[in-house]
Structure 1
Amino acid sequence: MTPEVAVDLFREALWLIVLIVGLAVVPSLVVGLIVAMFQAATQINEQTLSFLPRLMVMLITLIWAGPWLVSQLMEYTQNLIQNIPYLIG
């Protein structure tokens, strides 16, 4: 395996990780920002008010995008396993 192939495999894996984590975290961050602005405007400092909406949005996002994320992960893994003979030789 040449260094270029190893770097390319590592790049693909990192991109997949960024995609999975970003899709799970970004909606939660947006909702957290909206709830924080609401709390600052109304001066309500309740911890569950910021936690529950973020949790619900993350769960809904993972339910909605979960099949696509799993298919992307499976496609990468299948591609990696199928190319083992070419990567070694």
Structure 2
Amino acid sequence: MTPEFVVGFARQAIEVTLTIALPMLGVGMAVGIFISVLQAATQIQEMTLTMVPKIVAIFITLLVAFPWIMDKMMTYTTNLFLNLPNYIQ
């Protein structure tokens, strides 16, 4: 194994991880910004008002994106196992 191979392999794993996490992180950020603007406009400073909608929105996003996430993970894992003999050399 060359250092370039290890770096490329790690880069690919990080890219897949970030790609899978991006929908949930984006929705969480958007809902958080919306709730923050709502709190600033109404001057309501309740901690649960920020957490509960974000958790619900992230969970719904996870349910909607789950087939796509599983497809990405299955593709990555399949490629990893199919190329395992090449990685050992």
TM-score normalised to structure 1 length:
0.90
Residue 9 of structure 1 aligns to a residue whose secondary structure is helix
* RMSD value, Cα: 1.2
In the alignment, the residues of structure 1 paired with residue 16 and residue 33 of structure 2 have an alpha-carbon distance, to the nearest angstrom, of 26
Match of 2:80 in 1: 80
Identity %: 38
In the alignment, the residues of structure 1 paired with residue 6 and residue 41 of structure 2 have an alpha-carbon distance, to the nearest angstrom, of 51
Please, which runs of 5 or more residues in structure 2 have no aligned partner? Answer: none
Letter in 1 for 2:36: A
> Does structure 1 retain, via aligned residues, the 8 Å contact 2:31–2:57?
yes
Shift of 1:86: 1.0
Please, which runs of 5 or more residues in structure 1 have no aligned partner? Answer: none
- Report the count of equivalent residues: 89
Match of 1:13 in 2: 13
Q: Does 1:71 align with 2:79?
A: no
In the alignment, the residues of structure 2 paired with residue 6 and residue 50 of structure 1 have an alpha-carbon distance, to the nearest angstrom, of 41
In the alignment, the residues of structure 1 paired with residue 81 and residue 28 of structure 2 have an alpha-carbon distance, to the nearest angstrom, of 34
Shift of 1:83: 0.5
Letter in 1 for 2:83: N
In the alignment, the residues of structure 2 paired with residue 31 and residue 73 of structure 1 have an alpha-carbon distance, to the nearest angstrom, of 26
Residue 45 of structure 1 aligns to a residue whose secondary structure is coil
Match of 1:42 in 2: 42
TM-score normalised to structure 2 length:
0.90
What do residues 4-42 of structure 1 show as CA deviations (whole Å, max 9, x unaligned)? 222221111010111122221111111011101110110
In the alignment, the residues of structure 2 paired with residue 76 and residue 9 of structure 1 have an alpha-carbon distance, to the nearest angstrom, of 11
